[in-house]
């Protein structure tokens, strides 16, 4: 059975990948919010935007929680959502890349 321990180098790579995905996702969110806010004409739309942002904040804060010492599921989720690409896993051991890749194929 392959070793699932993450070396300090792999942990740093995972940290950098999470930071890259976080920047991509939050940049896209800010762009989306700018676009939505420019079309607000009623207070109900403003409250809907507020609710949407609260939901996104909860989702993003949870998704990028770095307390996970073996972030297989997080990396796979970010790849499935389009914030990372499998090619960006360079530097991780082949068994870890394979495990993340396999998880991206699961529902």
pLDDT for 106 equals: 87
Domain range summary for the chain, segments of one domain joined by +:
8-104
CA distance 84 to 55: 21
pLDDT at 69: 66
Model confidence, pTM: 0.87
Place of tokens 């914030």: 83
Residue 1's pLDDT is: 37
CA distances from 78 to 41, 67, 74, 88, 97 (A): 34, 16, 6, 11, 14
Q: How do the pLDDT tens digits run along the chain, 107 residues long?
A: 345 688 899 999 999 999 999 999 999 999 999 999 999 999 999 999 999 999 999 999 999 987 776 789 999 999 999 999 999 999 999 999 999 999 999 86
């Amino acid at each position: 059975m392959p070793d699932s321990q993450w070396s300090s180098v792999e942990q740093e790579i995972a940290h950098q990948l999470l930071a890259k995905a976080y920047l991509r996702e939050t940049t896209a969110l800010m762009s989306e919010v700018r676009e939505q806010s420019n079309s607000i004409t009623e207070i109900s739309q403003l409250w809907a935007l507020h609710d949407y942002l609260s939901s996104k904040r909860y989702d993003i804060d949870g998704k990028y929680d770095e307390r996970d010492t073996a972030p297989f599921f997080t990396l796979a989720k970010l790849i499935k959502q389009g914030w990372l690409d499998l090619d960006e896993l360079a530097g991780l051991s082949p068994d870890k890349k394979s495990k993340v890749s396999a998880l991206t194929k699961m529902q």
